[in-house]
Chains A and B, each alone.
Chain A
Amino acid sequence: MPATDAARARWISALAQADPAAVEAAWAGLASRPAYRLLRAPETGLVMVRGRAGGTGAPFNLGEMTVTRCSVELGDGRVGHAYVAGRDPRHAEAAAVLDAMLQDPAGRAALETAVVEPLVAARAARQRAARDQADATRVEFFTMVRGEE
C-alpha cells in the first residue's frame, strides 16, 4: 500500500525538524543502507517564512530561514526529497534517502519504529522542555477594577 500524504508528511516533518546528529546516527545505525544517486546534491538557501496575525489574519513575511535541500533516487526508482532547517548537508542527504526508503511498503513499519518514532518522541520532549521553561517564568497579570462613581 502506498503511503498516504498524511503519513508521509509526518515522517518528512519528523526528519526535517530533528537534531541533525540524531538523523545521522539513525542513518549510520541502519542494518542495510541502499545504494542511491543524487538528483540534486545538498544545497543551502533561504526560504521566506510567512505567518498570519493571530493565525487567521492577513499573511505577512515573518523572516527568512536557512534551509538545506536534497533529492535522491534509489536503485528501484523511488525518489526521496528533504528540506531541512539549518545548513547541514549530511542531515539533508540522510533525510532524503530515508524519505525514499520509507515509501517502500515492505520496509516501512520497521523503519518507522526504528527511526521515525524516536525522532517524533525527541521533538515532543524538546518542545515540552521549552514550554516548561517558559511556563516557569509566567507572569499572571490582573487589574484592580476601579468602581464607577
Chain B
Amino acid sequence: MRPGLADPVLDSQRIFRGVLDAMSHPGRIVALAVEDAAPGPLHPATEAVCLALVDFETPLWLDPTGRTADVTAHLRFHCGCPIVDEPVHARFAVVADSMRMPELDQFDPGTDEYPDRSATVIVQARALSAGTGRRLTGPGIESEARLDALGLSERFWESLRANHARFPRGVDVLLTAGSRLAALPRTTRVEA
C-alpha cells in the first residue's frame, strides 16, 4: 500500500485544473506537479488523474498490463471505484500498454441524448512532444496544433479518426507520459 494525494482537496483541484487546461487546448502538453512514484506500470500522470477524477460512481477498466495487484489495491483503496472486466462498462479506462490497446469503439461512446455519459480513456505513451508530428485542428485550437506521441500504433490514430466521426458520441482520450499529459477530445480532427 502507498499513500494517495498528500492534500486530497487542493491536489485534486490542481490536477483537475491541469486536465481541464489540456482538454480545452487539445494537443497542449500540461505538466502536473506530482510525485514521480506510481504503482506498478502506471505513469505518475495516469495515477494522478485517477486519484483526482475516479470515484465510487465511475467504474474503471484497466488493461491486462495495468491490472496488477498493486494497482488495483491502490486505486480501490484511494478511489473506492469498482473495477470492471469489460471496456464497455467503464467510465474511465487506463491503457498501460498502448501497443496492445483495444479499438476506441470498444468503450462506451454515450448516447445521442446524453453524449456526456461516455468513457474517458487514458492512454500511456512513452513520450509526448508538441510542435511536431500529427496535425490537430478543431475546437480549442486557433489554427492548428501539432502533437507527437512515442509508442502509439498507426491503428490508434485511425481509431481516433473513427471516434471523431461519431460526434456527438465518442470517447475522450488523455495521453500521459511521465508526469505530463495531453488531451485528444472527440472534437479534435487528427491528420497524418
Q: Which residues of A contact B (CB under 8 A)?
A: 37-41, 43, 71, 73, 79
What is the number of contacts between chain A and chain B, taking CB atoms within 8 Å? 16
Q: Is the CB of B4 within 8 A of A39?
A: yes
Task: Choose among B1, B4, B8, B78 the residue with the greatest number of A CB atoms under 10 Å from its CB.
Answer: B1
- Which chain A residues lie closer than 8 Å to B77 at the CB level? 39-40, 71
Bound: A37/B3 CA distance, A: 8
- Which chain B residues lie closer than 8 Å to A71 at the CB level? 77
Give the residues from 59 to 85 in chain B that come closer than 8 angstroms, CB to CB, to chain A.
77-78
Q: Is the CB of A39 within 8 A of B3?
A: yes
Which one of B1, B2, B3, B8 contacts A43 once the chains associate, using CB atoms below 8 Å?
Answer: B8
Q: How big is chain B's contact interface, by range? A: under 10
10 closest Cβ pairs, A-B complex: A39-B3, A39-B1, A73-B1, A79-B1, A38-B3, A40-B4, A37-B3, A43-B8, A39-B2, A39-B77
- Which chain A residues lie closer than 8 Å to B4 at the CB level? 39-40
1/0 per residue B1-34: CB within 8 Å of A?
1111000100000000000000000000000000
Which label, helix, strand, loop or mixed, suits the secondary structure of the B interface?
Answer: loop
B1, chain A: closest CB distance, angstroms: 5
Residue of B nearest to A73 (CB): B1
- Which chain A residues lie closer than 8 Å to B8 at the CB level? 41, 43
Residue of B nearest to A43 (CB): B8
Residue of B nearest to A79 (CB): B1
Bound: A38/B78 CA distance, A: 12
Bound: A41/B7 CA distance, A: 9
Bound: A40/B4 CA distance, A: 7
- Which chain B residues lie closer than 8 Å to A43 at the CB level? 8
A96, chain B: closest CB distance, angstroms: 12
Bound: A138/B77 CA distance, A: 47
